[in-house]
Structure 1
Amino acid sequence: MVNRFMQSRLRDLVFLAIILFALPAFLSNPFHYDLATQMAIIAATVVGLNLLVGFAGQISLGHAGFFGLGAYFSGIMTGSYGWSSIPALLVGAVLVGIIAWIVGRPILRLKGHYLSMATLAVGFIIAIIINNETWLTGGPDGMPVPSLDIFGWELSPFGSYSLFGMELDGNQAWYLFAALVLLVAVWFAQNLIDSPIGRALRSVHGSEVAARVVGVNTASYKSLVFVISAIYASLMGGLYAHFQGFITPAVAAFDFSIVLITMVVLGGMGSTMGVILGAVVLKLLPQVLADFQELETVMFGLILMLTMIFMPKGLLPTIQMAVSKRMKKKAGGQA
């Protein structure tokens, strides 16, 4: 059973790698690369959020706050204090993890609507601080962020690079880097899910009472996964800031938190590949619906509503179940 699960995870990872590295063949201009890079960064963020929501069964309506903290910390330290990007990203992730642990210990004792409101309040507090501390963050006007510096190698959308004999422009290089980051994020999440920690998280999701009865320290595991998901958000927020070159308080806004949680639910809670699909769909829909102008928001909401009514388990799990049923029916007919 364990070997079968591991083979399935490896197959998913290989399939994702093939898609990511084959995708540039279909990207024809800088806008396409920009959109694909954003998808990869946001998808890695929701992979971390899925650990909290899909596997541990906890809700977070303020996760954009951690994303924004990572973005602004890296932007401030590299832009104002001359730090290199990698130390700024790592230190920012550690600090965000500590903040998540401090706030997570009390609020994760709550359940249901109370937990939702508490995480929402955390996100609002972070967004307000970023918006009001103009001297540090630039306030509503935002702030510029330097290019990503990887051990002296500067990655910029406006640069040109040579990789294994291939000449790449900055957008192509950034996409390949973001794709690699997404693969690492998925690999870590899958290994965590298959570990004893992952089994403990699933037991917490199933029944906290039953988990405690068999000796699972539910409070510690919920705090741990909250910290891990916040670190995911912080790292991806920092990368997003360096990629965009400019950030505003919108990166920590409530709207963005709702988008992140919707990606998890739409793609399929508890499905790592599903939430990536959810991220792709929600990033692409506004582009597809742009021609409808004032009806764009209405159609966007309608599509999401119909999807959740007819695919309550999420896009990918529903598709997988439909394919499985069809294969079983075909096998039964042949027998």
Structure 2
Amino acid sequence: MIRPVILRPMALRPATLGLVALAVLVLVLPLVISNSFYLDLVIRIAINAIIVLGLNLLIGFAGQISFGHAGFLGIGAYASAVLPTHFGWPPLLALIAGAAAAAALAAVMAWPIFRLKGHYLAMATLGLGIILNLIFRNEASYTGGPDGMAVPAMELFGLQLSRDRQWYWVIAALLLVSVWASLNIIDSPFGRALRALHGSDVAARVVGVDIARYKMAIFVMSATFASIMGSITAHYVGFVTPNIADFFHSVELVTMVVVGGMASVFGSLLGAVLLTILPQALATFEGWETVAFGAILILCMIFMPRGLLPTLAARLGSLRFAVARLRAGRSAGESDS
């Protein structure tokens, strides 16, 4: 006897639903945003979100702290400024060269840096970022020094990107690809090895994880993410200064990871949204941005150590569990009566 085939709706994971919702949001936003200021703000949020996704893989999943990550942004930004301006390189080739340089530097520095732990590791990455920032400031003949320099327009397939809406679609596509790639990395054996590193180096070594290789791999990957987005930022803004690689920018990126939720892909997006909008909200209070970032980081570490999104998800899960128990108790009472 042949049984009829019953078609059931495909079960979608929350991560897949989140990616679909993000894609819908990306498609709808240009239709509802007519103001160029808000479109620029959305583009900057997307840029920060992509950077933070790569940094969250390093900090949130692998448990390796980096307070010099803005230095890799600077490598990409200045590669896209210096190489086309002084040496006549095509912008796309300069972007690739910047990413390769950042990856090479990260690979060289990973071995000595990741032999350190805790505060020493944070200090080492901080020192790396400060050195890169000083190079960008002092090599004035190439970088323009503290005043910065103009960046040539980006060209893709013969089309020069000059309008905000053109940049929106390019960066939105990069955001969707980055979220999709991050979700797949997390669910892969590589992602499971990263989570093992976050738990304990000794335990990870016992189960066969090559600690040095995985730490180097995730550091290089995160640095490459940052360098590419540094180049994109430089071309989008049309100008670059050493401020892109300063210490405060590194702290800002780490704060986005912590506030949104470490080891949470969509928490990274939430952190980027909140802390990109916050300086705009505090624009009338000059100097208060730094105080606000510090206060938010402290409050999150005290009251929400897992970050905003994971904490809200956990509390929602607890609420659902309590409601389910209450309903079960009522059902049991009605059946007894």
The reply to whether TM is greater than 0.5 is yes
Per-residue CA distance 1:67-90 (angstroms, 9 max, x = gap): 100110011122333322222212
Query: Aligned runs of 1:142-291 on 2, under 5 Å?
Result: 142-156=148-162, 170-291=163-284
Q: CA deviation at 1:31?
A: 1.0
Q: Is the 8 A contact 2:86 2:142 kept in 1?
A: no
The CA distance in 1 between the partners of 2:92 and 2:157, in whole Å, is 8
Q: Is the 8 A contact 1:60 1:119 kept in 2?
A: yes
The CA distance in 2 between the partners of 1:260 and 1:292, in whole Å, is 21
Q: 2:66 aligns with which of 53, 60, 66?
A: 60
- Letter aligned with residue 223 of structure 1: M
The CA distance in 2 between the partners of 1:116 and 1:288, in whole Å, is 30
The CA distance in 2 between the partners of 1:187 and 1:90, in whole Å, is 21
The CA distance in 2 between the partners of 1:185 and 1:89, in whole Å, is 17
Partner SS, residue 152 of structure 2: coil
- Letter aligned with residue 211 of structure 2: T
Q: Does 1:104 align with 2:97?
A: no
Q: Is the 8 A contact 1:96 1:234 kept in 2?
A: yes
Q: CA deviation at 1:211?
A: 0.9
- Letter aligned with residue 248 of structure 2: D
- Letter aligned with residue 238 of structure 1: S
Q: Is the 8 A contact 1:21 1:176 kept in 2?
A: no
Q: 2:82 aligns with which of 56, 67, 76?
A: 76
The CA distance in 2 between the partners of 1:223 and 1:152, in whole Å, is 36
Q: Which residue of 1 aligns with 2:334?
A: none
Q: Does 1:12 align with 2:18?
A: yes
Unaligned segments of structure 1, at least 5 residues: 157-169
Q: 1:119 aligns with which of 109, 115, 125?
A: 125
Q: Is the 8 A contact 1:85 1:150 kept in 2?
A: no
Q: Is the 8 A contact 1:57 1:204 kept in 2?
A: yes
Q: 1:101 to 1:295 in 2, by over 3 A?
A: closer
The CA distance in 2 between the partners of 1:194 and 1:35, in whole Å, is 31
The CA distance in 1 between the partners of 2:280 and 2:320, in whole Å, is 34
The CA distance in 1 between the partners of 2:117 and 2:17, in whole Å, is 36
Q: Which moved more, 1:296-305 or 1:242-251?
A: 296-305
Q: Is the 8 A contact 2:110 2:216 kept in 1?
A: yes
- Number of corresponding residues: 319
Q: CA deviation at 1:232?
A: 0.2
Q: Is the 8 A contact 2:259 2:296 kept in 1?
A: no
Q: 1:25 to 1:265 in 2, by over 3 A?
A: same
Partner SS, residue 89 of structure 2: coil
Partner SS, residue 149 of structure 1: strand
Q: Which moved more, 1:274-283 or 1:71-80?
A: 71-80
Identity percentage over the alignment? Answer: 52
Unaligned segments of structure 2, at least 5 residues: 1-9, 329-337
Q: CA deviation at 1:297?
A: 4.8
- Letter aligned with residue 244 of structure 1: V
Q: CA deviation at 1:320?
A: 1.0
Q: Does 1:315 align with 2:321?
A: no
Partner SS, residue 29 of structure 2: helix
Q: Is the 8 A contact 1:286 1:300 kept in 2?
A: no
Q: Which has the larger radius of gyration?
A: 2
TM-score by length of 2: 0.90
Q: CA deviation at 1:153?
A: 1.0
The CA distance in 2 between the partners of 1:66 and 1:109, in whole Å, is 20
Q: Is the 8 A contact 2:26 2:172 kept in 1?
A: yes
Per-residue CA distance 1:30-78 (angstroms, 9 max, x = gap): 1111111111011100100111101110000000000100110011122
Q: CA deviation at 1:299?
A: 4.7
The CA distance in 2 between the partners of 1:53 and 1:294, in whole Å, is 28
- Letter aligned with residue 199 of structure 2: G
